[in-house]
Structure 1
Amino acid sequence: MTPASLPSHAAHPDHGPQAWSAVGAMTLCVAMLIASEFMPVSLLTPIARDLHASEGMAGQAIAISGLFALVTSLLIPTLASRFDRRQVLVALTAVMVASLVLIAQASSFGLLMMARALLGVTIGGFWSLSTATVMQLVSPPHHARALGLMYMGNAAATALAAPVGSALGGVLGWRGVFWLLVPVGLVTLLWQALALPRMPPARAIPPGRVLGLLRRPQVRRAVIATMLTFAGAFATFTYLRPFLETRAQATLAQLSLLLLSLGAAGFAGTTLATLWVGRRLYTLLWAVPLLLAAVTLALLPAAPLLWLTALALAAWGALNAAAPVAWFNWLAQEVSDEPEAAGGLMVAAIQLAIMAGAAFGGLLLDQLSIDATFVGGAVLLVAAAGVAAGVGAHRPQPQR
């Protein structure tokens, strides 16, 4: 029996090989999405030069993927509820591959913008459906493990995208880097087509269902806490390079190693968060942003000492990687009746927070200093911890 002909109940096997193969395909797609989204950051200058655009314009072309991801994440639960989710995920992955081909052969700034918009559609659509899909692929006792595995793809791509892109770009050119991603994308597409079981629509999701979840107090608190967490993190993360260059006086080689250590530490953060969510989920929701704020502030006095900066960056990377693991496990546990709509809402909140946080950090940097950027990010993270503590304090108590 082929995967396409599996009965609908096979979409929730008891952690069999077919289910874990499907989770593996989802993990590879996550890695590809993160790599595709952030690879251009290290290739910004040659992209701008070849397409006769300023670096600021090229940066906007990169940012447009976030805008389309935001819009798609709000629409995809309703659209996907009318189709077999396997077909939706495969179609979204095909759009990702098409965007990579378009980026690699973009001959104008306009074509680059269109390709990045297509990538944003896949980012918003895939992330919105990923938690609900994992919940359907494996039985509830294995949700945390499966989500943790999927976020390993996130950690791997975050660690490798910028340094690998920079290194390969110097040898192959920026177009060559994206051409190398195309066959990996095709492998991802084939794996999903073979491994994902049929997941026929169980019910239609009305257009207002996604935002309607905000009427639930717990969901409203969680969305605010998530937005503050990601806004605070990206207010800092976006400007780590100028901080390391000016405050830590890092050379280009040292900069690459420091950023690699930050990304590599994400493996540890993802692993530990996956191990702890079963018993310490609500503690993680507030402790992660609070500790991340402390490490962000600690980077300022640590900067003159390179080894101390490296340690602080590793801690920052581990904590930053733990945040999405905690929040998407919260979603799987507390909004299990509406996983598709909740996934869309959460992804939209994160995308909006990333854009707002980056803009906030940039404003502080331009108007004040890099120190102000880090302090501003830490303030948002402390606020996130306070709201997240309320999420735990007000969670429904089990009936006795």
Structure 2
Amino acid sequence: MGLSTPVDTTGASSARTTGRQWAAVAVLGLSTFIVVTSEMLPIGVLTPMAEGLRISPGTTGYSLTITGLVTAVTAPLVPRLLGGLDRRMVLAVAMVVLALGNVLTAAAQGFGLLVVSRIILGFGMGVVWGLASAVATRLVAPRDVALAVSFAVGGVAAASVIGVPLGTIVGNAFGWRAAFAALAATAVLLAAALLPALPRLPQPTPVHDSTSASAPEPLLRSAPVLAGLILIVFLVTAHFAAYTYVRPVLEERTALTPSAVALLLLVYGVFGLAGNFATGALAARRARATVLSLAVGITASIALLALFGTVAWLAGLAIALWGLAYGGLSVGGQIWMTQAAPDRIEHVTGLYVGVFTGAVALGAFLGGTVVEAAGVVGLLWGAAGCAVIALLVALFGPGPTPRPRAKAAARAAEA
């Protein structure tokens, strides 16, 4: 059996990417933005949400664990189960499923319906995020593939740095239920927009490589892929263990008002967007060094918040650094993965998203457990220690080897 590689059949292999193709990438990026904002919004409205559901903040934080676990199972299975289905239709249906999950979250009166709503949301999220990068590569000319992936995955980063702060503002002004209802309405609009914006996207056609007589090596046997997944597990776990409870940290330690917390999260967002776009360009050339720098930034920001979180301006500095570093992680990690397995983008993306969201679930769970037992300071130090492990893996583990741009473009054009 020969080596099979996915091939673009959409006709996006022309020399230039058209405005219509970039518009399709934009709609895809907005979809990932709404998907991940839906997952993480409980972070920004944690206190009023817990009060409205009559449960503890730690239990409310577990809602991220539920969504993350469902997404972690769904995303790796998506490329294997879709077969010849049109990816455009699959994405549109998944956005409707996401909308349903948000409607049920807004309607929840207790933990039971909240669990159901977050399970449904996890299915929609797993499909959209699991397909986003692979679809983006099929929408543009070969020379623009890295930028398209950055924009598509940038929706994930923007959700952390812009979606949650905006959702927090809506929640403070109109109630946390209104924030989830707004996400549901937006998801329906994007489901309708995906159908005309994207071309028909059937399953990539496999092409057999006659130079290989065996099936492709399992992705987990690739040292760069495995190293990348390990560092993502520790870094994302560290981030979400601490960031899920950033509002209680800023309210209890820094004594900020809800409005001040929302403003500081917007500062986090501005720096996060800068980190996202800077990382896309840097990681395409030096993925390992870029991800290592992000790990250093996340570790330092959490430690700074643990040490000096009672001082308002130092807490603000830590939040800004945190946004700058974490804002680039999703795109930096994705580029690491695609460089480590460039001929199996759809499968490695599903695996990456599964591990990423599993780490989100683990981080939220551990964060809730630690904050209930040791308080917010103990939580911050535990998260910083977890981030140090990721830093060491990035420093000493095997990294991906990027292909020269010209070779990558030629290969994509031939496909």
Matched, 1:303 2:309: yes
* Mapped partners of 1:44, 1:228: distance in 2: 24
* Mapped partners of 2:244, 2:336: distance in 1: 26
Residue type at the aligned position of 2:349: G
In the other structure, the counterpart of 2:11 is: 10
Matched, 1:79 2:81: yes
Matched, 1:148 2:154: no
Residues 231 and 353, structure 1, Cα contact 8 Å, conserved in 2: yes
Range that drifts further, 22-31 or 379-388 = 379-388
The residue matched to 2:327 in structure 1 has which SS?
Answer: helix
**Residues 333 and 173 of structure 1: is their aligned pair in 2 closer, same or farther, counting only changes over 3 Å?**
same
* Mapped partners of 2:54, 2:368: distance in 1: 25
Between Structure 1 and Structure 2, how many residues are aligned?
389
Residues 61 and 244, structure 2, Cα contact 8 Å, conserved in 1: no
Range that drifts further, 226-235 or 301-310 = 301-310
* Mapped partners of 1:27, 1:323: distance in 2: 16
1:186 positional shift: 2.5
In the other structure, the counterpart of 2:260 is: 254
Matched, 1:323 2:325: no
Residues 151 and 270, structure 1, Cα contact 8 Å, conserved in 2: no
Q: Equivalent of 1:379, from 385, 396, 403?
A: 385
Residues 58 and 372, structure 2, Cα contact 8 Å, conserved in 1: no
1:28-39 alignment runs, 5 A limit: 28-39=30-41
Residues 81 and 203, structure 1, Cα contact 8 Å, conserved in 2: no
Residue type at the aligned position of 2:91: L
In the other structure, the counterpart of 1:356 is: 362
**Residues 373 and 101 of structure 1: is their aligned pair in 2 closer, same or farther, counting only changes over 3 Å?**
closer
Give the number of the structure whose residues are more often helix, by fraction: 1
1:324 positional shift: 1.1
**Percent identical across equivalent pairs?**
31
Range that drifts further, 115-124 or 358-367 = 358-367
Residues 248 and 306, structure 1, Cα contact 8 Å, conserved in 2: yes
Residue type at the aligned position of 2:283: V
1:151-162 alignment runs, 5 A limit: 151-162=153-164
Matched, 1:216 2:216: no
Q: TM-score, normalised by structure 2?
A: 0.83
The residue matched to 2:218 in structure 1 has which SS?
Answer: helix
In the other structure, the counterpart of 1:287 is: 293
* Mapped partners of 1:335, 1:263: distance in 2: 31
Residues 156 and 264, structure 1, Cα contact 8 Å, conserved in 2: no
1:357 positional shift: 2.5
In the other structure, the counterpart of 2:319 is: 313
The residue matched to 2:138 in structure 1 has which SS?
Answer: helix
1:197 positional shift: 1.0
Matched, 1:232 2:238: yes
Residues 42 and 163, structure 1, Cα contact 8 Å, conserved in 2: yes
* Mapped partners of 2:121, 2:114: distance in 1: 11
1:278 positional shift: 2.9
After superposition, the CA RMSD in angstroms is 3.0
Residues 74 and 210, structure 1, Cα contact 8 Å, conserved in 2: no
Q: TM-score, normalised by structure 1?
A: 0.86
1:56-75 alignment runs, 5 A limit: 58-75=60-77
Matched, 1:267 2:277: no
1:287 positional shift: 1.9
Q: Equivalent of 1:196, from 191, 195, 198?
A: 198
Residues 73 and 124, structure 1, Cα contact 8 Å, conserved in 2: yes
Q: Equivalent of 1:20, from 22, 28, 32?
A: 22
Residue type at the aligned position of 1:10: G
In the other structure, the counterpart of 1:168 is: 170
1:230 positional shift: 0.8
**Residues 177 and 253 of structure 1: is their aligned pair in 2 closer, same or farther, counting only changes over 3 Å?**
closer
Q: Equivalent of 1:124, from 111, 121, 126?
A: 126
Deviations 1:38-93 (A, max 9, x none): 22344455555655666555444453222211111121111123322222212212
Deviations 1:372-400 (A, max 9, x none): 3223222222221221234555748999x
The residue matched to 1:15 in structure 2 has which SS?
Answer: coil
Residues 131 and 332, structure 1, Cα contact 8 Å, conserved in 2: no
Q: Equivalent of 2:100, from 90, 98, 101?
A: 98
**Residues 397 and 38 of structure 1: is their aligned pair in 2 closer, same or farther, counting only changes over 3 Å?**
closer
The residue matched to 1:137 in structure 2 has which SS?
Answer: coil
Which 5+ residue runs of structure 2 have no aligned equivalent?
1-7, 207-214, 408-415
Residues 86 and 200, structure 2, Cα contact 8 Å, conserved in 1: yes
* Mapped partners of 2:38, 2:49: distance in 1: 14
**Residues 366 and 182 of structure 1: is their aligned pair in 2 closer, same or farther, counting only changes over 3 Å?**
closer
Q: Equivalent of 2:117, from 115, 118, 122?
A: 115
Residues 71 and 358, structure 2, Cα contact 8 Å, conserved in 1: no
* Mapped partners of 2:274, 2:239: distance in 1: 18
Residue type at the aligned position of 1:189: A
Residues 157 and 331, structure 2, Cα contact 8 Å, conserved in 1: no
Deviations 1:236-294 (A, max 9, x none): 21232233233323233322222221222211111211232233322112121023212
